[in-house]
A and B are shown apart, each in its own frame.
Chain A
């Protein structure tokens, strides 16, 4: 059923129109494994994420896709007892190198979370938070406007910027969180199931936004929803739970190819709804 619907989806960038030049890689992992205490969450994942494209990560619950995403901005290291093996590289540099400051990584690699989490402050203060903590000396009013415009929220909130971010609807809150992430001018935006707490209309707006942002930013999105991956992404990775109990990468390919002619039977089984 799901496979059928995906079959009908019009893919935005057919292979023939794409230049075949080698892609510029911005993020990569080599043999990345991760443990929460004794429990393995990721098992030897090697993957290269191209610049200014949308890369989707799909897979069943517990396959480690969120954990994988959070390795890119070192959010996992906040969890006590967690352990990482292998390497994560951002523009060829190992981000887990002792000399790398996680704060500088997070400034360049922003994140949008599963549940909208605006600060209990005004819309304005939500946007300028990142600029302030990073000591950016931008014109704050202008920063607020451009960030909200980029996140397609400006027209809805321009008259009440002093209003609490929590007073917005769920979809607006999530766009506020995206605007807040954009305000620190990152290169990459990690999105951890950004629409899972939203209704279909709000979801559509976020998806439209992702397609626009793709021109300027590299986006890595984790999603439960296969149609969403098919709609918004250029490349898709399929994860599953391996024998170790940790997530494994099964297949990583151009989105249209992964959904129409998957090379691994497990991918095919998942996208046609036979498991997961």
Chain B
């Protein structure tokens, strides 16, 4: 015969059950709040802008006539900037993370560097814009080019990539490093054949998030002087450029109502670009995950 004990036990059981359910409900509400807000926002934007998105909208240059206006140059500018930023920030960021996790001696200098990089992730983006203006645009005389913009953007997202990559590298169990070294692998072979393949999905997730941030950033590019009106295609890294968020911002700031609906259309395009680039990155990541079983 099992007795439940003294008085109060039954109350306690009920109390615990209520608290448990209450907590589950609270977390569910928190989840739904974010999702619902996003859904409302998306619905609103799509209702205003989806009808603007057609072939002409994507292939026309901006114009002062709303019906002729498009975001061709902004779309190409975003593509250029994203490609160059990824090409610069990914190898540098992963390289820095590998150094800090696998090679750096554990001394005060390393710790100072690590703390500073973590802090850099929180620096307002306009500050990076000023840095880019001073160093890349003026001192290095790159001008208001897409290269200068991408370098500024790379600086902005480097701390994010480094922090995420370090976490991913640290999550690789030491037993695998030991297994690798015990078989006669050099340090470089251990890193390239054992650590990186295992850490790659995590590194790519961090890179995806960082690049998503780069797609949407406006302030640093305005600071370095990216133009709002570009009526030609950027052909190379040294060309002048604009990007989608700047174009959208420009349309929103105009008084005519037609431009506002163009802005909504631009947001739809921006979201699609974001989702497309993320899904490509996720496909790559899944390939790595399959390879490591």
Check if B178 sits within 8 Å of A119, measured CB to CB: no
Q: Is A134 an interface residue (CB 8 A)?
A: yes
**Interface readout for B167-186 with A: 1 if CB under 8 Å, 0 if not?**
00000010111111111111
Do A75 and B175 form a contact, CB below 8 Å, given A120-B293, A133-B193?
Answer: no
Check if B182 sits within 8 Å of A111, measured CB to CB: yes
* A110–B183 CA distance with the chains assembled, in angstroms: 6
* A115–B194 CA distance with the chains assembled, in angstroms: 17
Check if A119 sits within 8 Å of B176, measured CB to CB: yes
* A73–B189 CA distance with the chains assembled, in angstroms: 17
Q: Is A106 an interface residue (CB 8 A)?
A: yes
**Which residue of chain A lies nearest to B292 when distances are taken between CB atoms in the complex?**
A120
Task: Known pairs A80-B106, A117-B179, A121-B292; list 7 more (Cβ under 8 Å).
Answer: A75-B178, A107-B184, A111-B182, A119-B180, A133-B183, A180-B179, A181-B183
Q: Is A184 an interface residue (CB 8 A)?
A: yes
Do A164 and B184 form a contact, CB below 8 Å, given A117-B175, A129-B193?
Answer: no
Check if B182 sits within 8 Å of A120, measured CB to CB: no
Kindly list chain A residues whose C-beta atoms are within 8 Å of the C-beta of B185.
103, 129-130, 133
Q: Is A78 an interface residue (CB 8 A)?
A: yes
Q: Is B198 an interface residue (CB 8 A)?
A: yes
Residues of B that sit less than 8 Å from A by CB: 105-106, 173, 175-186, 189, 193-194, 197-198, 292-293
Q: Is A61 an interface residue (CB 8 A)?
A: no
Do A110 and B292 form a contact, CB below 8 Å, given A80-B106, A117-B175, A129-B193?
Answer: no
**Interface readout for A128-140 with B: 1 if CB under 8 Å, 0 if not?**
0110111000000
Check if A115 sits within 8 Å of B178, measured CB to CB: no
* A103–B181 CA distance with the chains assembled, in angstroms: 7
* A164–B293 CA distance with the chains assembled, in angstroms: 6
* A261–B194 CA distance with the chains assembled, in angstroms: 47
Nearest CB of B to A192, in Å: 10
* A104–B177 CA distance with the chains assembled, in angstroms: 17
Q: Is A84 an interface residue (CB 8 A)?
A: no
Contacting B179 at CB < 8 Å: which of A73, A104, A113, A122? A113
Check if A78 sits within 8 Å of B181, measured CB to CB: yes
* A134–B182 CA distance with the chains assembled, in angstroms: 12
Q: Is A157 an interface residue (CB 8 A)?
A: no
Nearest CB of B to A59, in Å: 22
Q: Is A177 an interface residue (CB 8 A)?
A: yes
**Candidate in A120, A121, A180, A184 with the most chain B CB atoms within 10 angstroms:** A120
Check if A113 sits within 8 Å of B194, measured CB to CB: no
Contacting B293 at CB < 8 Å: which of A115, A132, A134, A166? A166
**Which residue of chain B lies nearest to A180 when distances are taken between CB atoms in the complex?**
B183
**Interface readout for A87-130 with B: 1 if CB under 8 Å, 0 if not?**
00000000000000001101100110101011111100000011
**Which residue of chain B lies nearest to A112 when distances are taken between CB atoms in the complex?**
B182
Kindly list chain B residues whose C-beta atoms are within 8 Å of the C-beta of A134.
183-184
Check if B293 sits within 8 Å of A73, measured CB to CB: no
Kindly list chain B residues whose C-beta atoms are within 8 Å of the C-beta of A129.
180, 183, 185, 193
Give me 16 A-to-B residue pairs in the complex whose CB atoms sit less than 8 angstroms apart, sorted by A's number: A78-B181, A80-B106, A104-B184, A107-B183, A111-B178, A113-B175, A119-B179, A120-B198, A120-B292, A121-B292, A122-B293, A129-B185, A129-B193, A133-B186, A167-B293, A184-B183
Residues of A that sit less than 8 Å from B by CB: 73, 75, 78, 80, 103-104, 106-107, 110-111, 113, 115, 117-122, 129-130, 132-134, 164, 166-167, 177, 180-181, 184
**Which residue of chain B lies nearest to A177 when distances are taken between CB atoms in the complex?**
B179
* A82–B177 CA distance with the chains assembled, in angstroms: 18
* A222–B175 CA distance with the chains assembled, in angstroms: 18
Nearest CB of A to B155, in Å: 31
Check if B178 sits within 8 Å of A113, measured CB to CB: yes
**Which residue of chain B lies nearest to A117 when distances are taken between CB atoms in the complex?**
B175
**Which residue of chain A lies nearest to B179 when distances are taken between CB atoms in the complex?**
A117
* A166–B176 CA distance with the chains assembled, in angstroms: 12
Check if B184 sits within 8 Å of A103, measured CB to CB: yes
**Which residue of chain A lies nearest to B289 when distances are taken between CB atoms in the complex?**
A120
Nearest CB of B to A170, in Å: 14
Check if B181 sits within 8 Å of A121, measured CB to CB: no
Nearest CB of A to B69, in Å: 52
Contacting B186 at CB < 8 Å: which of A73, A103, A120? A103
* A119–B40 CA distance with the chains assembled, in angstroms: 46
Check if A106 sits within 8 Å of B183, measured CB to CB: yes
Kindly list chain B residues whose C-beta atoms are within 8 Å of the C-beta of A115.
175
Kindly list chain A residues whose C-beta atoms are within 8 Å of the C-beta of B293.
120-122, 164, 166-167
Nearest CB of A to B101, in Å: 13
Kindly list chain B residues whose C-beta atoms are within 8 Å of the C-beta of A180.
179, 183
Check if A75 sits within 8 Å of B183, measured CB to CB: no
Check if A181 sits within 8 Å of B182, measured CB to CB: yes
**Which residue of chain B lies nearest to A164 when distances are taken between CB atoms in the complex?**
B293
Nearest CB of A to B179, in Å: 5
Kindly list chain B residues whose C-beta atoms are within 8 Å of the C-beta of A133.
180, 183-186, 189, 193
Check if B106 sits within 8 Å of A117, measured CB to CB: no
Nearest CB of A to B229, in Å: 52
